[in-house]
């Protein structure tokens, strides 16, 4: 290996190691912050739901390709104080929740732990905007 390139290999290895440390730190810090928070259960109402679809295209040399999509599900809750909290939920949970559902929201920091729906009651049509 030429002398002028001998210093590049250790430099590239150090940059790669640094990138790995930064990526691990970015994923572990929110997890650690959430673990240090208390588990809270509060009265809440589902005020909105949304999805985010990300498509990934992979082209092949033969001219074909593959498209893969990932869907993330989000639900926004409003608590008694009027504050709104949005959480990412799994698809099954998303499908079980509807706008105007009321119940008890359980979470820890930014991590959604569950929603226990209150028993259904007659809701006047005017409150639903009909």
Q: What is the pLDDT along the chain (130 residues), one digit of tens a residue?
A: 555 667 787 788 888 888 787 777 677 677 778 788 999 999 999 999 999 999 888 777 766 777 889 999 999 999 999 999 999 999 999 999 999 999 999 999 999 999 999 987 655 444 544 3
Residue 41 CB neighbours (<10 A): 13
Task: Provide the pLDDT for residue 85.
Answer: 97
Domain 38-128 has CATH 1.20.1050.90: no
Tell how far CA 106 is from the center of its chain: 16
The sign of the dihedral angle between the CA atoms of 80, 50, 100, 97 is negative
**Domain chopping of the chain, boundaries:** 1-36, 38-128
- What three-state secondary structure class fits 65? strand
Task: Provide the pLDDT for residue 130.
Answer: 35
Exposed, middle or buried, 78 (CB in 10 Å: 0-12/13-18/19+)? Answer: middle
Task: Provide the pLDDT for residue 125.
Answer: 46
């Amino acid at each position: 290996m030429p002398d002028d390139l001998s210093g590049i290999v250790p430099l590239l290895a150090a940059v790669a190691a640094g990138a790995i440390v930064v990526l691990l730190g970015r994923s572990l810090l929110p997890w650690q912050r959430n673990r240090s928070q208390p588990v809270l259960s509060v009265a809440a109402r589902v005020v909105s739901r949304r999805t985010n679809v990300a498509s990934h295209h992979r082209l092949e040399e033969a001219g074909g390709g593959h498209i893969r999509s990932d869907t993330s599900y989000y639900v926004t809750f409003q608590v008694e104080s009027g504050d709104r909290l949005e959480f990412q939920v799994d698809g099954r949970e998303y499908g079980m929740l509807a706008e105007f559902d009321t119940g008890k929201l359980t979470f820890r920091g930014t991590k959604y732990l569950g929603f226990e729906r209150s028993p259904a009651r007659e809701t006047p049509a005017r409150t639903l905007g009909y």
